[in-house]
Amino acid sequence: MVVWCYYAGMPVLIAVVTLLIGFVYLLAMTRLMSEGGMPWMDEPHWRAHDIIRALVPYRSLSVGNWAAVSMLMPFTYDMRVSPMPRIMQSLKLSDDTKTDNRAITWSIIIATVVAVPVSYWAMLDAGYTHGGVAINTYRFVSLARQPGQLMERLAVSGVRSPDWISLALMGYGAAKLFALAYMRVNYLWWPLHPVGYAMSFIVYLAREWLSIMIGWACQTILLRYGGHDAFRRYRPIFLGLILGAMLAGGLWLVVDGITGLRDHKILY
């Protein structure tokens, strides 16, 4: 990727920092999803290219350099489809079920090798056959405009030094996260989890916060008055509720596929 970025016109240092930030985001999202149990997660609103824009003054790079940075956005924007959390959960599931890790690993590799070209072909075929705008305006219109919109923001920016205000706000958010993590580790009575703070911005949590609060309240009551045995005894009920919700959503997706409707979604 660094070699591709270099030949695309991006300075090597900028390419390394941008890809490193994106990789750190992916690692953090994998840890948060594995520990927090969320079905999917999005990257922070400040993506890797936004951090580069705050760190590097606009006038210090050429237009071609910034164009290369903008073309890297498909790898740093909308990371909720990252396979890393699913791979981690698959390996954890193999440990729980005493399945051969080598078999799981090879299955993941083969599935990835097959899925990449098939997904590219399916996306292009669907877009050219039915029209991208008719399928999904977000993916075929909004995301396609992102590189150009980044260049537009840079063109009207008169910033000649790093964006200290934005960097200070990022530092403030990091300090709050570390403070929550410190309190969580050192004080058992502390009720606020840093994972909740890190996940508080995603669309899924904004729509499902009530269900999460109800689940948290039920878990608290079971643990306080019934202990761990009661928690394990009643856990299948709550897993059944989740499975029922997924089955209902999947059923309506089948109905949409048969009737031609497009109004039902799962987890979004």
Question: Per-residue pLDDT tens for 67-116?
Answer: 888 888 777 777 777 778 778 878 877 777 777 778 888 888 898 899 98
pLDDT at 117: 93
pLDDT classification of 32: cutoffs 50, 70, 90: confident
Q: What is the pLDDT of residue 159?
A: 60
> In which band, very low, low, confident or very high, does the pLDDT at 182 lie, cut at 50, 70 and 90?
very high
DSSP per position, 197-254: HHHTTSHHHHHHHHHHHHHHHHHHHHHHHTHHHHHHHHHHHHHHHHHHHHHHHHHHHH
- Reference 38, options 266, 196, 191; nearest CA is 196
User: Among 70, 16, 23, which residue's Cα sits nearest to residue 43?
Assistant: 23
| pLDDT surpassing 60 at residue 268 | no
Q: What is the mean pLDDT of residues 129-151?
A: 82
pLDDT at residue 127, as a whole number: 86
pLDDT value of position 150: 80
pLDDT band at 267 (very low <50, low <70, confident <90, very high): low
Mean pLDDT of 152-163: 72
The pLDDT, as a whole number, for residue 266 is 64
| Pair 132, 139: CB distance under 8 Å | yes
**What would the pLDDT profile of 1-18 be if each residue is shown by its tens digit?**
888 888 888 888 888 888
The pLDDT of residue 113: 92
Give yes or no for a contact between 36 and 195, defined as CB atoms under 8 angstroms apart.
yes
pLDDT above 90 for 179: yes
